Amino acid sequence: MSGMDINQIMEYLPHRYPFLLVDRVLEVVPGKSIVALKNVTRNEEFFQGHFPHHPVMPGVLVIEALAQTAALLSFKTENTKPDGKIVTYFVGIDNARFRNPVFPGDQLRLEVELLRHSYKIWKFSARAMVEDRVAAQAQLMCAEKNLTEEA
């Protein structure tokens, strides 16, 4: 299936600057996998404090970029768009590893594969690449919650 530009991504994700961490989707195969990009620039707000004299993208934000990419895959798999009634929460990270730092000027290739989907639970295998090196990898779990149901 074809990719998505930033305007299409914003139709699916509620995140906005400075927390929208997916710039483009290169390809998506519903029910299987997705490949997206995050362009890392020096003017990202987090570089002001992490670290001013040696800027490195925080690993938790690399994982968040992967989680946002996974959310796009789940919406494409279900052939739905958010309607304000359902929210997808990031509920688990297993086997997370940070292999190489991410610097300004890098382009993260976000690769996510659906491992399983059962009822409202999604599990993914994910990795972030910079050129031919792994920056981070993990298994991610997300859960859907209907906001209109009483807690």
Q: Quote the CA–CA distance of 116 and 108 in Å, as a whole number.
A: 24
Q: Is 57 exposed, middle or buried (0-12, 13-18, 19+ CB in 10 A)?
A: buried
- Which ranges in 49-100 belong to alpha helices (H)? 59-78
Q: Which residues are catalytic?
A: 50
Count of beta carbons in the 10 Å neighbourhood of residue 116: 9
